[in-house]
Amino acid sequence: MTEQESVAATEAASDESAPGPSFETEVAESLAAAASVPSSADSDGRKPVESWAIELKTPDWLFAAAKMLAQWPRGRELTKAEYQSAVAAVDQVICR
């Protein structure tokens, strides 16, 4: 194997092992998209679910479970009470 082939193989291997977007990256993209859309967040206390997850320091696993169970798309706007209720419901699920 030539030196050039070795370098190319190393670069290809490092590209394959690169992780996907992180939770923070997804949240930032979602918040940026939500910020560009006019909303009623100021008047009725609604915020994107990702904002509540950050503000209330919801663990990633719990947020992901609530998002899946409630079928929230990215940027779904909820009140704080709605968000907390959904997260609490998921936190009570027992997996055996």
Counted domains in the chain = 1
Beta carbons of 50 and 75 less than 8 angstroms apart: yes
Closest CA to 49 of 22, 20, 86: 86
User: Is 80 a member of any domain?
Assistant: yes
pTM above 0.75, yes or no: no
pLDDT band per the 50, 70, 90 thresholds, residue 96: confident
Residue 8 confidence (pLDDT) above 90: no
User: Cα(67)–Cα(87) distance, rounded to whole angstroms?
Assistant: 9
Token representation of residue 7: 């370098």
Stronger pLDDT, 52 or 23, i.e. the higher one: 52
User: Is 40 a member of any domain?
Assistant: yes
- Which residues form the domain of 84? 23-91
Which pLDDT value is given to residue 55?
Answer: 95
Residue 9 confidence (pLDDT) above 60: no
HEC string for 64-78:
HHHHHHHCCCCCCEE
Residue 13 confidence (pLDDT) above 70: no
